[in-house]
């Protein structure tokens, strides 16, 4: 499967963005999808993940971010509200058919190219 992340941009603190992860190839509903981010000089970190319908979030984004999927459109989304400067990073979507730990990036086989999110204070 090929993944294409989009929707990043520059936003003021407190604002919102919605990221999209468009998939092509195999049946999208077969895949578990995760969002990760990497800020300059930092390790890549888990943001959110979604199986068929169950979701999981990093503590730092709980209550502010929502992950969802539309299998008919072969697309997953990350709605980001109440953005903070510390959310600034390159955001990546990833997918795989078998994942035991949503937060473990090594378990994701396919990765999109990343989209930059910058939150100004």
Measured distance CA(98)–CA(78) in Å, rounded: 21
Quick: pLDDT tens for 62-117: 999 999 999 999 999 999 999 999 999 999 999 999 999 999 999 999 999 999 99
Which of 59, 63, 48, 65 lies closest to 119 in space, CA to CA? 65
- Identify the DSSP state of 65: E
Structure confidence at residue 62 (pLDDT): 98
Structure confidence at residue 97 (pLDDT): 94
Q: b/e for 81-100, b at 16 or more Cβ within 10 A?
A: eebeeebbbbbbbbbbeebe
Structure confidence at residue 42 (pLDDT): 96
Quick: pLDDT tens for 11-43: 999 999 999 999 997 788 999 999 999 999 999
Structure confidence at residue 99 (pLDDT): 93
Measured distance CA(69)–CA(33) in Å, rounded: 9
Both tokens assigned to 79: 């709605």
């Amino acid at each position: 499967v090929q993944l294409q992340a989009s929707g990043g941009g520059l936003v003021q603190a407190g604002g919102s963005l919605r990221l999209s992860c468009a998939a092509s190839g195999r049946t999208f509903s077969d895949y578990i999808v995760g969002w990760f981010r990497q800020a300059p000089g930092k390790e890549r970190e888990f943001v959110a993940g979604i199986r068929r319908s169950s979701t999981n979030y990093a503590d730092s984004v709980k209550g502010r971010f929502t992950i969802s999927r539309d299998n008919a459109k072969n697309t997953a989304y990350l709605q980001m509200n109440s953005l903070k400067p510390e959310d600034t990073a390159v955001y990546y979507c990833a997918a795989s058919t078998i994942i035991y730990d949503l937060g473990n990036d090594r378990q994701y086989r396919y990765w999109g190219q990343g989209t930059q999110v910058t939150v100004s204070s």
